[in-house]
Structure 1
């Protein structure tokens, strides 16, 4: 559901990849131009072992310069509009900001 919505975002230059490899991890959704990672979590992410793994993974990604935003699966199904609004804010700084074309700059 979220993947379809991200592909339909009417924002020029906003490009998300799905199941993108970063280091030894695979992230759910990734916008290279903003180094923004979107993660979707199901109920099993409440388990102690899984939650600890998620924390370590997120800390590594953040040390590498990525921003990680997490949503519960139930948030996506209950209020997709609110989730998309949060993603827009992460991309452009505020809900009222004008969408500007994003360009992916490769790191060397």
Structure 2
């Protein structure tokens, strides 16, 4: 993993927003940097190499393959992770919440006791 990926993984493994993330997750013939199954969200940390040669086309082909399987890809510049990791995490969690829908709500307080209306 690159240094920005390590920085991001240190935060994602703490399950921000209650979401579980996997790193180096296989998807078809691809390996995703990070993946949240509940939100069907792939997270790719893009360094400068992603702007060179055939990389942009390969990235678009992978993103298209994932979209056909209802997986959204967030592409995050490595420099953003290094500069503002907390803002990147907030953006990722917001995207997870949008994609996971209303069933994913962190508990607001203690669970109801037996026999109480929910």
- The 1:50–1:10 alpha-carbon spacing in structure 2 relative to 1, beyond 3 Å, is closer
TM-score (normalizing by structure 2):
0.75
* Residue 46 (structure 1) aligns with: 51
Per-residue deviation, 1:9: 3.5
CA RMSD of aligned residues (A): 1.7
Q: 1:84 aligns with which of 89, 98, 117?
A: 89
TM-score (normalizing by structure 1):
0.82
Distance in structure 2 (CA, Å) of the matches to 1:90 and 1:70: 12
Per-residue deviation, 1:58: 0.5
Q: Tell me the SS of whatever aligns to 1:38.
A: strand
How many residues in Structure 1 have an aligned counterpart in Structure 2? Answer: 96
Structure 2's unaligned 5+ residue stretches are: 1-6, 107-118
Where has structure 1 moved over 2 Å in runs of 4 or more? Answer: 9-12
* Residue 67 (structure 2) aligns with: 62
Q: 2:8 aligns with which of 2, 14, 22?
A: 2
Larger radius of gyration: 2
* Residue 104 (structure 1) aligns with: none
